[in-house]
């Protein structure tokens, strides 16, 4: 016999107050890692699968090496990290995302309530690796949000059956407030998964993107 469904937690979520920055900062760390906040409302994020994590690590390593060379040449400073909160807005409602990979200008000083984590205005490129539960969010929602926030470049990595290995890398560049496609690499057609000059020169083969899968 089927047991009655308990709607208690769902009812509690429906009546939960909007999330503020102060509330988020008071969240336990293990809970805060499982959510993003969009226009004041919590959005649960599933933990990434092994292929997703491997691809993210490979992108971080490659982008970090590329950024280091460019920074040495231009006397600039960038950081490349994965799974870090990026503040899009804290007023009138809290709104932040946690891209799979973020390249942002170095932040030397604590800037108050957001600490040394990046604002969207600090970012030069964000990357999302599409999983089965994030297709619409990564392809439509975050693309619109990142463009509206003024992030210059957005890359979307698609995986075979949304589970790996990577099958395509689509790169977008912000032009007049909207993203236009700068490049599309497809496995089996293109030798390089990434052949880019923005934000730094970078060439990455599919085999390099697959490392650790």
Tokens of 53: 């994590």
Structural domain harbouring 96 = 48-210
Within 8 A by CB and 6+ apart from 2, the residues are none
Are 182 and 197 spatial neighbours (Cβ–Cβ below 8 Å)? no
Find the length of the chain: 213
- Domain membership of residue 180 (yes or no) is yes
User: Do residues 106 and 137 both lie within one domain?
Assistant: yes
Model confidence pLDDT, tens digit, residues 21-66: 988 888 888 888 888 999 999 888 878 899 999 999 999 999 999 9
The per-residue pLDDT for 44 is 85
Q: What is the pLDDT of residues 123-150, one digit of tens each?
A: 999 999 998 888 999 999 999 999 999 9
Give the pLDDT band of residue 16 (cuts 50, 70, 90). low
Q: Are 183 and 202 in contact (CB under 8 A)?
A: no
Query: Are 111 and 153 in the same domain?
Result: yes
Residue 5: band (very low, low, confident or very high) from pLDDT cuts 50, 70, 90: very low
Q: Which helix (H) or strand (E) holds 170?
A: strand 166-175
Please report, for the domain that includes residue 179, its CATH number. 3.90.1570.10
6 pLDDT above the threshold of 80: no
Mean predicted confidence (pLDDT) in 68-86 = 96
What percent of the chain has a predicted confidence (pLDDT) above 70?
A: 92
Q: Which residue has the higher pLDDT, 181 or 7?
A: 181
One domain, residues 87 and 177: yes
The average confidence (pLDDT) of the chain is 90
Q: Are 72 and 132 members of one domain?
A: yes
* Stretch (H or E) spanning 21: helix 21-25
Contact between residue 173 and residue 153 where contact means Cβ atoms under 8 Å apart: yes
Q: Are residues 34 and 56 in the same domain?
A: no
What is the biggest distance separating any 2 CA atoms in the chain, rounded to whole angstroms?
70
Chain centroid to Cα 157, Å, comes to 11
User: Do 20 and 125 belong to one domain?
Assistant: no
Query: Could you tell me the pLDDT band of residue 1, with boundaries at 50, 70 and 90?
Result: very low
Compute the distance between CA of residue 199 and CA of residue 178 in angstroms, rounded to an integer.
Answer: 17
Q: Is residue 103 situated within a structural domain?
A: yes
- For residue 114, being part of any structural domain is answered with yes
pLDDT score recorded for residue 58: 98
Residues 158 and 204 in one domain: yes
- In the chain, how many domains are there? 2
Q: Are residues 29 and 80 in the same domain?
A: no
With respect to residue 86, please indicate whether it lies within any of the assigned structural domains: yes
pLDDT digits (tens, 9 = 90+) for 197-208: 989 999 999 999
Q: Do 33 and 100 fall into the same domain?
A: no
Co-location of 177 and 93 in the same domain = yes
Residue 3 domain-assigned? no
- What's the pLDDT at 133? 81
- Global pTM value: 0.89
Mean pLDDT across 85-114? 94
Res. 13: pLDDT tops 70: no
Query: Residues 26, 87: contact at Cβ < 8 Å?
Result: no
Tell whether 1 is covered by a domain: no
With 90 as the cut, is the pLDDT of residue 67 above it?
yes
**2 in a domain, yes or no?**
no
Which residues make Cβ contacts (< 8 Å) with residue 60, sequence separation at least 6?
Answer: 80, 81, 82, 101
Same domain (yes/no): 30, 74: no
Residue 130 belongs to some domain of the structure: yes
d(CA 83, CA 189): 30
Residue pair 131/157 in contact by the 8 Å Cβ criterion: no
The CA distance from 198 to 70, in Å, is: 11
- The answer on 68 and 17 residing in a single domain is no
Q: Can you tell me the mean pLDDT for 166-189?
A: 97
């Amino acid at each position: 016999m089927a047991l009655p469904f308990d709607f208690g937690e769902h009812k509690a979520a429906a009546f939960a107050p909007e999330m503020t920055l102060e509330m988020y900062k008071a969240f336990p760390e293990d809970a805060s890692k499982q959510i993003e906040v969009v226009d004041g409302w919590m959005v649960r994020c599933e933990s990434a699968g092994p292929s997703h994590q491997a691809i993210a690590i490979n992108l971080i390593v490659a982008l970090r090496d590329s950024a280091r060379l460019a920074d040495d040449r231009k006397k600039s400073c960038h950081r490349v990290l994965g799974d870090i909160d990026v503040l899009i807005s804290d007023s009138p409602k809290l709104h932040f995302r946690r891209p799979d990979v973020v390249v942002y200008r170095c932040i030397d000083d604590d800037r108050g309530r957001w600490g040394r984590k990046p604002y969207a205005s600090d970012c030069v490129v964000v990357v999302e690796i599409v999983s089965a539960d994030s297709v619409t969010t990564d392809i439509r929602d975050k693309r619109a949000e990142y463009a509206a926030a003024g992030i210059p470049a957005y890359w979307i990595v698609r995986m075979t059956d949304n589970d790996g290995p990577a099958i395509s890398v689509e790169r977008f560049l912000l032009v007049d407030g909207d993203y236009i496609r700068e490049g599309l690499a497809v496995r089996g057609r293109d030798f390089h998964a990434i052949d880019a000059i923005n934000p730094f020169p970078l060439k990455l083969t599919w085999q390099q993107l697959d490392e650790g899968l």
